[in-house]
Amino acid sequence: MGKNDQQPSATGVYAALLTPRRPYSTEADCAILLDYLDLITRTGVDGVVLFGSTGEFVHFDTAERMRLAMLAIRRSRAPVLVNVSHSTLAGAIALAEHAITARAAGVLLMPPYFYRYTDTQIFEFYRHFVNSIGRAIPVYLYNLPFFTNPISAGLAERLFGLGAFAGIKDSSGDWQMFEALRSYRAARPFSLLVGHESVYLRAALAGADGIISGVAAALPELLVAMNRVIRSPAPEQAQRLNIRLQEFVAWIEKFPATTAIRRAAIARGWKLDHFALPLDEKTSQDLAAFERWFHNWLPSVLSECAADAHVRA
């Protein structure tokens, strides 16, 4: 691939895909993934993300992540960003080098996970990473403080000062963090992507370049419709769709991460029905209630999205 600064920056709606697994296995189901990828890209998303947190990358070994990434990139009709996060620098570099070979549109990299590190240690991790891979592919910082070491505002400023990063996916949902990132972008342009749907509309109206959305793994039409309205001459109309988005978010936050998103995808007939662990009786009952709600809620939402697309066209 060419230089980092010759690649188009990620903007708009990127769906953070779920990863189908074979039953009772840590192996991904490639055939189902490729069919699912086709379904998502047909909805008009601007791109997709493989093996992000919604894609439960921690369940898969490095070789499996590489194998699936190569096949999905070949198949996809939309740009593909690959999460190359790993608990080690060597693992992240190996995944990134493979993403370059596979011709991914970019890579996402969170701080090394599980163990806790200081900002200075995380800075060195990123500095060594970009020094190793050069500028052969756009690299996006990935801030996911709910599950791993955070990228603080001060650390983000230092990292963007290196001039080596194409942007950031900020999944913190923290408005002060967003404002800090926006101020850094004014001095040194980069792609500012939100990763938390609760602040998507507010951030988009305040200048965010787009969203990498786990909700879009099950409901891409809603995020695509919102983005279309936000970029239209009447962005205030997006509030109606945002109400729908927040209704969905309120449900999914009642469950362990990705559980309700996966259940919603299953309810749509998509073959993603292998969970990482058994569900207790109470959670199963709550998910059944969610699925009943979703079954009644979805048709009207899809109708609103389709009507909006017709009007905007």
> Which of the 8 DSSP states describes residue 21?
B
Q: What does each of the 313 residues of the chain score in pLDDT, given as a tens digit?
A: 334 445 678 999 999 999 999 888 889 999 999 999 999 999 999 999 999 999 999 999 999 999 999 999 999 999 999 999 999 999 999 999 999 999 999 999 999 999 999 999 999 999 999 999 999 999 999 999 999 999 999 999 999 999 999 999 999 999 999 999 999 999 999 999 999 999 999 999 999 999 999 999 999 999 999 999 999 998 888 999 999 999 999 999 999 999 999 999 999 999 987 888 889 999 999 999 999 999 999 999 999 999 876 555 4
Q: What is the pLDDT of residue 7?
A: 63
Q: Tell me the C-alpha distance between 288 and 284, whole Å.
A: 6
Between the two ends of the chain, the Cα-to-Cα distance in Å is 34
Q: What is the pLDDT of residue 204?
A: 97
pLDDT digits (tens, 9 = 90+) for 166-213: 999 999 999 999 999 999 999 999 999 999 999 999 999 999 999 999
Burial tier of 65 (Cβ tally within 10 Å: 0-12, 13-18, 19+): buried
Map tokens 């992000």 to a residue: 52
129, 158, 270 from 301: Cα distances, Å:
43, 42, 18
The residues pairing with 12 across neighbouring beta strands, listed in sequence order, are: 210
Please count the other Cβ atoms lying within 10 Å of the Cβ belonging to residue 271: 14
Please count the other Cβ atoms lying within 10 Å of the Cβ belonging to residue 217: 27
Q: What is the pLDDT of residue 273?
A: 79
Q: What is the pLDDT of residue 307?
A: 85
Contacts 24+ apart (CB under 8 A), 193-196: 193/10, 193/14, 193/140, 193/167, 193/168, 193/169, 194/169, 194/170, 195/16, 195/142, 195/143, 195/144, 195/169, 195/170, 195/171, 196/170, 196/171, 196/172
Q: What is the pLDDT of residue 5?
A: 43
- pTM for the full model? 0.94
- Residue type, position 275, single letter: F
| Contact between 154 and 122 (Cβ < 8 Å) | no
Q: Tell me the C-alpha distance between 296 and 289, whole Å.
A: 11
Which domains does the chain possess? 4-312 (3.20.20.70)
Q: Tell me the C-alpha distance between 252 and 176, whole Å.
A: 24
Q: Residue 300 has which token pair?
A: 């009207």
Q: What are phi and psi of 213, to 5 degrees?
A: -115, 125
* Residue 86: HSE in the Cβ half-sphere, 13 Å Cα cutoff: 20
Q: What is the pLDDT of residue 312?
A: 55
Pairing of strands 191-194, 210-213: parallel
